[in-house]
Amino acid sequence: MADLDGLAADLEGIAIETHPSLVKQKSRDFFWYSPVLKRQLDHVCGDLVASPKSEEEVARILAACHARDVPVTVRGAGTGNYGQAMPLAGGLVLDLAGMNAVKRAGPGSVVAEPGAILADIDRATKAACGQELRMHPSTYRTASIAGFIAGGSGGVGSVRWGGLRDLGNVARVEVMTMEAEPRKLTLTGEDLHKVSHAYGTNGVITEVEMPLTAAHDWVDVIVGFDALTLAAAFADGVARHDGILTKEVGVVAAPAAHDYFLRHQRYIAHDQSVALIMVAPFAVDALVSLVARSRGAVLYRSDTASESDRRELPPLYELSWNHTTLRALRVDPTITYLQSLYPYPNHLAKVAAIADVFGDEVMTHLEFVRFDGVIACFGLALVRYSSEERLDEIVRIHEEMGCPVFNPHRYTLEEGGMKQSDSAQLAFKREADPKGLLNPGKMIAWEDPAFDFAGRQTYLFPGLSR
């Protein structure tokens, strides 16, 4: 057991929290979305929280924890839904929410501190130069920019710009190492992959530079269809229609749209599947023309909605990505979800085939994204949960049908991703965190290099039984 009193003394002058209920609060993210992670991680808790205000304070904290062998788990806003920010080995939670300044905003790019909230960044860039971030998670109003880079993958905007890890979607990050004398490294280009989506296992991001694009007053449009296949084909067509500028194109099958989008329920019939679209104001008429060519009907559009609807209804992006899951969970706490890929070019056929196999047990939710210049879709299906065994079986059937699953019921990088270790991230961890103190238990390649990814067993971090 580390000498926490000694550590607190080392950190004099830096904001520290040791009150058990406050530490517990800052030791949790949205892991509970998964009944499996809820069972495994509910007891997880750090020992103390440090809230630095500057890079100098981050460096002091890392040096002190390094000297005393105290694990450090970085936290942005704690909205990760794979348990990314859960301190599996206890230790210090490094809460970067207070380092949230937007340092420079101008045409082309923005420079911000790690804890800057995405919506706040956009407010600053719109005011400075009429531009905005290319993409954001549906947790736009709460999540931090470094948490998005280290723990997220893409979201609203990915239909135009692809994933966050695609080259060009992050310009630069400054990373601090976990060593006796922490170093600050600048990563750009290919090197960004060392820390991008690495769950803070191999360095602490202390500054980011993100590319910008033209800002628009995006119009929210919901289009209804009598069949899921019609909604999916329409959404695919919209996403591929280069002249119609969209920021979000998703699909939610009946009856989930009606049953779970409670505040929009009066617009959506029980048996309607819907396409969810954010479109630039100048392209709304073109979108409506596409609807007229399809067998759909515009159910809602924010630009012609009543003043009270515009004020009171949540923005459409908060019906999309994992907010769809959140809305379902609020109505039916037994719902859980999956994240999968329907690969191009047969994505629509696979959507239909998987919907057929599972029927009402797995309700289709699609998010259209651009992959290497072509449109495919992710599935964030809503699953009627019965048991862990059945959940594993549903995952296996998806994979056998050619749809890889990024399993949100696993807390490790590899199992939640491509089921293989990332050699660049592992090599960087050896360099930047030689003692393995950053977010222990999340990178199997570090914890158990002999782990067999081809087998079907789940990795269990020994530190969890602490």
Ligand X SMILES: Cc1cc2nc3c(=O)[nH]c(=O)nc-3n(C[C@H](O)[C@H](O)[C@H](O)COP(=O)(O)OP(=O)(O)OC[C@H]3O[C@@H](n4cnc5c(N)ncnc54)[C@H](O)[C@@H]3O)c2cc1C
Q: Kindly state the tokens that stand for 445.
A: 């390649």
Contacts of 42 (CB under 8 A, 6+ apart): 32
3-state secondary structure at position 8: helix
Residue 75 CB, nearest distance to ligand X (Å)?
Answer: 5
Residue 150 or 391: which CB sits closer to ligand X?
150
Q: Using alpha carbons, select from 207, 25, 213 the residue that is nearest to residue 102.
A: 207
| For ligand X, the closer CB: 204 or 252 | 204
* Region from 215-223, 293-301, 315-323, 353-361 binding ligand X, contact rule CB under 6 A: 315-323
Of 31, 161, 199, 337, the one binding ligand X by CB under 6 A:
199
Q: Tell the smallest beta-carbon distance from residue 454 to ligand X (Å).
A: 26
Site for ligand X in 350-409 (CB under 6 A): none
* Whole-angstrom distance, CA of residue 141 vs CA of residue 139: 6
From the CB of 157, what's the least distance to ligand X, in Å? 10
The number of residues making up the chain comes to: 466
Distance CA 377, CA 159 (A): 9
Q: Cα(167)–Cα(186) distance, rounded to whole angstroms?
A: 16
Tell the smallest beta-carbon distance from residue 223 to ligand X (Å).
Answer: 21
β strands within 354-419, DSSP E: 362-363, 365-371, 374-379, 382-384
CB of 73 closer than 8 Å to CB of 91: yes
**Region binding ligand X by CB under 6 A among candidate stretches 226-234, 319-327, 345-353, 394-402:** 319-327
Comparing CB distances to ligand X, the nearer of 298 and 323 is 323
Residue closest to ligand X, measured at CB: 147
Piece in contact with ligand X (CB under 6 A), picked from 4-12, 200-208, 331-339, 410-418:
200-208
Q: Which of 96, 363 has the CB closer to ligand X?
A: 96
Minimum gap (Å) between residue 456 Cβ and ligand X = 25
- If the CB atoms of residues 27 and 153 are measured against ligand X, the closer one turns out to be 153
Nearer to ligand X, 272 or 324 (CB): 324
Pairing of strands 131-133, 72-75: unpaired
Cα–Cα–Cα angle for 41, 337, 87, rounded to 5 degrees: 20
Binding test (CB under 6 A) with ligand X, winner from 153, 169, 364, 421:
153
Give the residue among 410, 369, 404 at the shortest CA–CA distance from 164.
Answer: 369
* Identity of the residue, 164 or 223, whose beta carbon is nearer to ligand X in the bound complex: 164
Give the 3-state secondary structure of 181-202: CCCEEEEEHHHHHHCCCCCCCC
**Residues 19 to 78 in contact with ligand X, rule: CB under 6 A:** 29-30, 73-78
Among 46, 154, 224, 408, binds ligand X (CB under 6 A): 154
Q: Where are the alpha helices (DSSP H) in 359-417?
A: 388-400
For residues 75 and 97, the answer to whether their CB atoms sit within 8 Å is: yes
Q: What x-and-dash track marks residues 118-147 binding ligand X by CB under 6 A?
A: -------------------xxx---xx-xx
Residue 339 near ligand X by CB under 6 A: no
The one segment of 49-57, 236-244, 273-281, 317-325 that binds ligand X by CB under 6 A: 317-325
Neighbours of 458 (CB within 10 A): 15
Q: Name residues contacting ligand X, limited to 214-273 (CB under 6 A).
A: none
For residue 305, what are the contacts with CB-CB under 8 A and spacing of at least 6?
A: 313
Closer Cβ to ligand X, 140 or 300, answer by number? 140
Q: Which residue has the tokens 């590899």?
A: 414
The DSSP output letter for 34 is S
Q: Cβ closer to ligand X: 147 or 224? A: 147
Sites for ligand X among residues 75-104 (CB under 6 A): 75-81, 84-85, 96
CA 160 to CA 163: how far, in whole Å?
A: 9
Residues 438-457, one symbol each (x = binds ligand X by CB under 6 A, - = not), give -x------------------
Q: How far is the CB of 320 from ligand X (least distance, A)?
A: 7
Q: Which is nearer to ligand X, 224 or 440 (CB)?
A: 440
Q: Which is nearer to ligand X, 76 or 441 (CB)?
A: 76
Minimum Å gap between C-beta 284 and ligand X is 23
Contacts of 374 (CB under 8 A, 6+ apart): 344, 345
Binding residues for ligand X, rule: CB under 6 A, are 29-30, 73-81, 84-85, 96, 114, 137-139, 143-144, 146-148, 150-155, 199-200, 204-205, 321-323, 326, 439
